């Protein structure tokens, strides 16, 4: 079988809504429309790491843009 040679980089929370701050996700798991579209178009999917989870962990509260707008993030 030939490869499609197509790859899409997808943000962590599109493939895993459970990674979002509790109460802020409007879907149960992955965004099916995005995932199904990529699969139907023969894309490989690379899930990008979530910087918020890496920094604050899964049990975190919501933050604003200014809190992440630093040279350290």
Tokens 């579209």 belong to which residue? 37
What's the rounded Cα separation, in Å, for the pair 10 and 26? 18
The pTM of the full predicted model, rounded to 2 decimals, is: 0.68
Task: Considering only residues 62 and 8, tell me which one the structure prediction assigns the higher pLDDT.
Answer: 8
**Residue 27: pLDDT over 70:** yes
Q: What is the pLDDT of residue 73?
A: 65
Contact 67, 35 (CB under 8 A): no
Tokens, residue 65:
């843009």
Instruction: Provide the pLDDT confidence category of residue 19 given band limits of 50, 70 and 90.
Output: confident
**Band of residue 59 on the pLDDT scale cut at 50, 70, 90:** confident
Query: What's the mean per-residue pLDDT of the chain?
Result: 83
What's the CA gap between 44 and 23, in Å, rounded? Answer: 30
Contact 19, 50 (CB under 8 A): yes
């Amino acid at each position: 079988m030939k490869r499609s040679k197509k790859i899409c980089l997808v943000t962590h929370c599109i493939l895993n809504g459970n990674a979002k701050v509790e109460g802020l996700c409007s879907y149960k798991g992955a965004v099916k429309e995005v995932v199904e579209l990529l699969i139907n178009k023969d894309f490989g999917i690379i899930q990008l790491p979530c910087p918020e989870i890496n920094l604050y962990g899964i049990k975190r509260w919501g933050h604003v843009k200014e809190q992440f707008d630093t040279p350290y993030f």
